[in-house]
Amino acid sequence: MKPFDENGAFCPTANGDGLRRVALRGAAVTMLSQTAVFAVQMLATVVLARLLTPADFGLLAMVTTFSLLLMNFGLNGFTEVVLQREDVDHRLASNLFWINVAMGIVLAVGFAAAGPLLAWLYAEPRVIAVAGAIALTILFTSVSVEHLALLMRAMRFADVSANQILARAISVSVAIVLACMGSGYWALVAGAVALPLATSAGAWIWCRWIPGLPRRDDRTIPALRFAIYTYGCFTVGYFMRNMDNLLIGWRFGPEALGLYKKAFDLFTIPVEVSAPVTRVAVSALSRLTGDSARRGRHLLGALAPLAFIGMGLGVNLTLIGKDLLFLLLGPQWKESGLIFTFLAPATGLMLIYLVQVWIHLSIGRADRLFRWGIFEFTMITVLFLLGLRWGPLGVAAAWVAYFCVFTIPALRYAGRPAGLGVASIVDAVWKYVLASALAGAASAVIIRGLPSFSGASGPMAALMRIVMVSIVFATLYLCAVILFHRGLEPIRHVTRLLRDIVGPAPLEPVSKA
């Protein structure tokens, strides 16, 4: 794709009636691609969990807890600038590109130099060499941010998705080959470095754009200010999501961190699969800036299927969590299975909670998102400190407590400038929350009533429990949803979304290749 024409203007994208279908297709493509990415990652997890130890994973997590924050400097900030602004052209994109690359170099060098400080923090000397290698991920990521953002602005989500899948496959292959050769934790390090390198190479191939030299442009400073606000929001949220890793690694060491991190990574798979949809949603909703009523309808329409799927998935994973992790990772990861069952109940609420990001960014209020991020960081840190005395299980329980208490306040705060009331939000989700809770309780009672079934051991017994419990819960959950809605409207709604996604292509041009 060539994103700019001969005059430097951005090529047109779909609008009007075609925007909804393009957005839906983009969401579908990104979710399917993320499912494929995590299928590849899951295969790697199953293999690597049997070739490496929890301490190997924990050692890498000690470093990436900090490096991922720096690696996302451009991904979270500059990407949103390209998606949200109406007047992005070749000159502005070039300026943003060079700013991002310059910061990538500075941050990579700084992180490599901070290796001894991390080693002191964790009392683990191996961290120094790992930090030096992982610093390359910061630099490699910075050179692809603008290219990927331009592809997303042009609604070329299939290209972005193909690039993600290929890069993940390369990363996983490198890690598995080196692990089979006995490289230990260096196999994980090499796979982590290979991922942004392959991603950047693919981004330049898919988006055929050569940045120009930096030039004076009055739009650069406001765009940079918006990017910094957005990255500030990400930074606060990042520390919230990674303070648990820091505390567990500091207090209990790499093995405990490895066990917790593996459970947490599996817990967040639904969010990671749907994360690219945020970019689709922001790109589409930003085009409805002048139509708050229509934007509100779209947001509420998105909340309902998220609640339908997320609440059911979360409760089902709670019921089968131990068996699932035993089957995927093996017996040495038994403690991860217990941690996972503590985390899983928050899956649906976490999906709903993230809709607040759509609202803030689509209306250009990154400042409000930043202020909320400071609040959520404070609250979750307090909960982590309270739960730390009970180890990783206490930290996992803190996550669930946070989402139970603050999901509705977060959406209310985000929706205020957009004219989205809390009553309409609650009305869109409460029936799914109640249906999942009742179906989960009933399923647990049924399972406990079959002691020979629940007490059997071994991989085959675990697989049978996963299948049977999932069937029982899904049946009860769908019945409860139909009962509370007094009909099949939720199922029809999902069906209509699928029909719109796979229907005839829109006539409006999406981009010029």
CB 179 within 8 A of CB 113: no
More confident residue, 512 or 316: 316
pLDDT band (50, 70, 90) for residue 272 = confident
Identify the pLDDT of residue 173: 94
Identify the pLDDT of residue 16: 46
State the amino acid at position 333 in one-letter form.
W
Q: Is residue 34's pLDDT more than 80?
A: no
Residue 110 lies in a domain: yes
Residue 59 lies in a domain: yes
| Number of compact structural domains in the chain | 1
The average pLDDT across 319-342 equals: 89
How many Å apart are CA 311 and CA 435, to the nearest integer?
Answer: 9
The residue among 63, 105, 74 whose CA lies nearest residue 189 is 63
More confident residue, 165 or 292: 165
The per-residue pLDDT for range 176-229, each reduced to its tens digit, is 999 999 999 999 999 999 999 999 999 999 888 888 888 887 778 888 887 787
Identify the pLDDT of residue 136: 95
Q: Is 55 exposed, middle or buried (0-12, 13-18, 19+ CB in 10 A)?
A: middle
The residue among 17, 1, 3 whose CA lies nearest residue 504 is 17
Residue 349 lies in a domain: no
The per-residue pLDDT for range 412-466, each reduced to its tens digit, is 888 877 677 778 888 888 899 999 999 999 998 888 877 656 666 778 888 888 9
| Identity of the highest mean pLDDT range in 96-100, 105-109, 457-461 | 105-109
Q: What DSSP designation does 419 have?
A: T
> What DSSP assignment string belongs to 130-186?
HHHHHHHHHHHHHTTHHHHHHHHHTT-HHHHHHHHHHHHHHHHHHHHHHHHTT-THH
Among 6-15, 414-423, 497-506, the minimum mean pLDDT is found in 497-506
Residue 443 lies in a domain: no
What are the backbone angles phi and psi of residue 4, rounded to the nearest 5°?
A: -120, 150
- With a pLDDT cut of 90, the percent of the chain lying above it is 32
Identify the pLDDT of residue 404: 92
Identify the pLDDT of residue 191: 94
More confident residue, 500 or 205: 205
Identify the pLDDT of residue 77: 75
pLDDT band (50, 70, 90) for residue 116 = very high
CB neighbours of residue 128 within 10 Å: 17
Beta-bridge mates of residue 4: 10
Relative orientation angle of helices 391-415 and 355-362, to the nearest 10 degrees: 40
Q: What's the whole-model pTM score?
A: 0.66
Range of the domain at 122: 1-234
The per-residue pLDDT for range 387-407, each reduced to its tens digit, is 999 999 999 999 999 999 999
State the amino acid at position 160 in one-letter form.
V
With vertex at residue 299, the alpha carbon angle to CA 293 and CA 305, rounded to the nearest 5 degrees, is 140
pLDDT band (50, 70, 90) for residue 91 = confident
Q: Is residue 175's pLDDT more than 90?
A: yes
Residue 12 lies in a domain: yes
CB neighbours of residue 38 within 10 Å: 18
Residue written as token pair 């970019």: 279
Determine the distance from the C-alpha atom of residue 330 to the mean position of all C-alpha atoms in its chain, rounded to a whole number.
26
The residue among 503, 161, 223, 168 whose CA lies nearest residue 366 is 223
Half-sphere exposure of 282 (CA within 13 A, CB side): 31
Residue written as token pair 């009636």: 17
What tokens does 61 get?
A: 């997590």
Beta-bridge mates of residue 89: 9
What tokens does 358 get?
A: 């759509």
CB neighbours of residue 372 within 10 Å: 21
More confident residue, 490 or 507: 490
Half-sphere exposure of 153 (CA within 13 A, CB side): 29
The residue among 285, 274, 349 whose CA lies nearest residue 37 is 274
Q: Is residue 252's pLDDT more than 60?
A: yes
Q: What DSSP designation does 209 have?
A: -
The residue among 43, 370, 11, 316 whose CA lies nearest residue 155 is 11
Q: 3-class SS at 13?
A: coil
The residue among 171, 170, 144, 172 whose CA lies nearest residue 159 is 144
Residue 300 lies in a domain: no
| Identity of the highest mean pLDDT range in 53-62, 193-202, 230-239, 266-275 | 193-202
What tokens does 275 get?
A: 């994360």
Residue 87 lies in a domain: yes
What are the backbone angles phi and psi of residue 90, rounded to the nearest 5°?
A: -60, -40
Residue 495 lies in a domain: no
Identify the pLDDT of residue 460: 85
More confident residue, 372 or 293: 372
What are the backbone angles phi and psi of residue 86, rounded to the nearest 5°?
A: -90, -20
Query: CB pairs under 8 A, 24+ apart, for 423-427?
Result: 424/296, 424/300, 425/300, 425/303
The per-residue pLDDT for range 335-371, each reduced to its tens digit, is 899 999 999 999 989 988 888 877 777 776 777 887 8
